[in-house]
Structure 1
Amino acid sequence: MAKGDKLYFQALVEASKNTAVGDSNALDLLNKAIGKNNSKAQYALATWYLYGKTVKKDYKRAVELLLDSSIQNNEMACFDLAVCYENGFGVKKNSKKAFLFYSKAILLGEKQSIYEVGRCYYYGVGVNKNLELAKVYLDIANMYGIET
């Protein structure tokens, strides 16, 4: 178990009891776990800020937390960060960074990113268009049953 995991899991239990914006107990627990550099807590709070769950929606704060979590190789944080860069949520749109974070997410085991990298190669999003590589990634995504 990583540092701060107990606090992280307690926060999730608290959050499931009360989803009201500003639920300070769950938020306090997550922040304590984040203080212990817990990447799962960083990612969880980032998603709360992305979707306005328990806290007010704040894309910039979400991106800060996603960056911290991605540095610790959290595959979902890398994926969500790629989505933020591709769509300009909390950051300036940057398709190259989006492609890089989708690629990192694949290397960390996040399967939806396989499709996203294939799509990037197919359309030339953040990378030179390459239909051969697109086909490879899209075929692998299809093999995993990922919607294309």
Structure 2
Amino acid sequence: MDSAYASAPGVDPRYQRALRLMQREGNEAAAYSLLRAAADDGDGMSIYAIATWLLHGTYVRRNLKEGNRLLRLAADENIASACSDLAVSYYRGWGIRQSYNEAARYYLRAFLLGDVAAAEWIEKLFYWEGTKIAPRTVAREFGRLQAARGL
């Protein structure tokens, strides 16, 4: 869970409490309960946290398919870390059908949302797999984000 995000304005207090429970007490059961409730109400960071728990088998049984489904939901809420993690899943084919187009799309979204480390992965992806990526995939992602910003 992202402690830098937890102090940002507008963060769901249940996410903040879950983070404190994990950091101070390691109380996974209570933290999961808070995260689940916030995720059920649509909190993007809580959805992302539950997704990572599912992907790694933390407290819950490992479930790549469900973890990736939740990553997609969090990515739709513009959570940069969720976009990066989903890009990795698509690139590697972890619990999801491998797609270099989708990997490029989500790495680009992560970068445009402020994840500067995603730039290195975009470069590597285009260098090694560039011929397998449709330029329209990248163009659509730029268009989506411009529309979301009202440009």
Instruction: Work out the CA distance in 2 between the residues paired with 1:124 and 1:30.
Output: 37
Alignment partner, residue 107 of structure 2: 102
Give the one of 13, 16, 37 matched to 1:6: 13
Opposite residue 2 of structure 1, the aligned amino acid is G
- SS at structure 1 position matched to 2:37: helix
RMSD of aligned alpha carbons: 1.9
Per mean C-alpha deviation after superposition, the further-off stretch among 57-66 and 7-16 is 7-16
Instruction: Work out the CA distance in 1 between the residues paired with 2:114 and 2:96.
Output: 25
Gaps of at least 5 residues in structure 2 are: 1-8, 135-151
Alignment partner, residue 15 of structure 1: 22
Gaps of at least 5 residues in structure 1 are: 129-148
Alignment partner, residue 66 of structure 1: 71
The offset of 1:45, in angstroms, is: 1.1
Once the two structures are superposed, the pairs formed by residues 1-148 of structure 1 within 5 Å of their partners are 1-2=9-10, 5-16=12-23, 17-18=25-26, 23-125=28-130, 126-127=132-133
Opposite residue 10 of structure 2, the aligned amino acid is A
Instruction: Work out the CA distance in 1 between the residues paired with 2:85 and 2:113.
Output: 13
Instruction: Work out the CA distance in 1 between the residues paired with 2:21 and 2:95.
Output: 27
Instruction: Work out the CA distance in 2 between the residues paired with 1:18 and 1:92.
Output: 34
Instruction: Work out the CA distance in 2 between the residues paired with 1:81 and 1:104.
Output: 11
The offset of 1:33, in angstroms, is: 0.5
Per-residue CA deviations over 1:38-87 (Å, capped at 9, x if unaligned) read 10101111111111222221111111111110001110000000000111
Greater share of residues in helix = 2
TM normalised by structure 2 equals 0.75
Instruction: Work out the CA distance in 1 between the residues paired with 2:40 and 2:126.
Output: 38
Instruction: Work out the CA distance in 2 between the residues paired with 1:9 and 1:51.
Output: 21
Instruction: Work out the CA distance in 1 between the residues paired with 2:92 and 2:114.
Output: 22
Aligned length: 125
Instruction: Work out the CA distance in 1 between the residues paired with 2:129 and 2:26.
Output: 44
Q: Does structure 2 conserve the Cα–Cα contact (< 8 Å) formed by 1:103 and 1:113?
A: yes
